[in-house]
Amino acid sequence: MAIRMFQYGFHIGKNNSILENNIKVVYFPKQLVIFIEENSKIKDELRLKIIFPGGEKVDYSVPVMKYWEYTDINLIEEKLYILLPLQVFKFRKIFEHLKRKKDTGRSEFDDVLKEAKNLSYKLAKEISRLNSRKEIMDNDFNSMLIAIQNLMAYLNRNYCNNKNVEEEVSKMLKSFYDPAVEKKGIEKGRRETLISNLQTLLNIKFSDTSYMSRIKKIEDEDTLNSVFEDAVKSNSIEELKEKLKQRKLN
């Protein structure tokens, strides 16, 4: 992971390099790795030692954000608004725990799904408030609501198959749409929004959007939804690429 982050940082720095006194200067960007689900093996930073041919040594490190330690309140306090929708994804681990338990009843899954739905409402309400205060721009506002909807659909389809919840969530989220935003035509088409959300997810989760050029060629919305789910469940960009290969999308 540290090597991938170094490669990504160098790629960004190279593209923004400048020439000073006939010497190419590469400025590395400030980087952060975000791990979504709890894992005791994850350290507070990624470290890499680089040794040049002349023996010079450079310690390269990237700080780690352990997302599971953050609540929606923490994210708002630190103005990390774009990460708010991922709070819904925290329920995946709870569902997985129920799935592994013996004699888990349907009602237990439904109760957790209800909690996720309630959190979705809370997040949408807060995102709407931030949008009204111009702290979240209109395009981001709409994309964040769609992201919440996609994550709820993912949880429902993989663990509950509740026939009503997706329609309920959709109606609930639409109730927060600002009519003024709709009049201006800022709301994107569904396919474009899915692609935008995928790009945001890949950037946040893997700091790697190199596969977007291929994803943008996908026309079918159901396929894009499946790719979104693959991205959410993947632990690395390599794992996602393998899943796309299995779907014959590579």
Q: Are residues 78 and 101 in the same domain?
A: yes
Q: Are residues 156 and 236 in the same domain?
A: yes
pLDDT, residue 86, reads: 95
Q: Are residues 58 and 93 in the same domain?
A: no
Question: In one letter, which amino acid is 141?
Answer: F
pLDDT, residue 235, reads: 81
What the block records as the tokens of 12 is 């960004």
Q: Are residues 114 and 234 in the same domain?
A: yes
The residue-averaged pLDDT of 144-152 equals 92
pLDDT, residue 178, reads: 53
Q: Are residues 59 and 83 in the same domain?
A: no
pLDDT over 90 percentage in the chain: 48
User: What are the pLDDT digits (tens) for 222-247?
Assistant: 888 888 888 888 888 888 888 888 87
pTM, whole model, 2 decimals? 0.68
Q: Which residue has the higher pLDDT, 185 or 23?
A: 23
Q: Are residues 53 and 121 in the same domain?
A: no
Among residues 22, 38, 67, which one ends one of the domains? 67
Residue 250 has pLDDT above 70, yes or no: no
**How many whole angstroms separate alpha carbon 233 and alpha carbon 250?**
18
CB-based contacts of 94, cutoff 8 Å, min separation 6: 112
pLDDT, residue 208, reads: 83
Q: Which of 111-120, 152-161, 221-230 has the lowest mean pLDDT?
A: 221-230
Q: Are residues 108 and 45 in the same domain?
A: no
- Residues spanned by the domain of 48: 2-67
Structural domains in the chain (count): 2
Residue 64 has pLDDT above 70, yes or no: yes
Q: Are residues 53 and 84 in the same domain?
A: no
Q: Are residues 17 and 113 in the same domain?
A: no
User: What are the pLDDT digits (tens) for 157-196?
Assistant: 999 999 899 999 988 888 886 554 554 544 456 778 788 8
In angstroms, how far apart are the furthest CA atoms of the chain? 71
Q: What is the CA radius of gyration of the chain?
A: 20
Q: Are residues 13 and 106 in the same domain?
A: no
Residue 123 has pLDDT above 50, yes or no: yes
3-class SS of residue 45: strand
pLDDT, residue 72, reads: 95
pLDDT, residue 189, reads: 66
Among residues 52, 67, 82, which one ends one of the domains? 67
What the block records as the tokens of 24 is 């190419």
Q: Are residues 96 and 54 in the same domain?
A: no
Q: Are residues 119 and 164 in the same domain?
A: yes
With CA atoms as reference, report the closest residue to 73 among 33, 34, 130, 111. 130
Contacts 24+ apart (CB under 8 A), 73-76: 76/126, 76/130
CB-based contacts of 60, cutoff 8 Å, min separation 6: 2, 6, 47, 48, 49, 50
Among residues 32, 67, 102, which one ends one of the domains? 67
pLDDT, residue 46, reads: 92
Q: Which of 82-96, 126-140, 151-165, 205-219 has the lowest mean pLDDT?
A: 205-219
Give the pLDDT band (50/70/90) at residue 110: very high
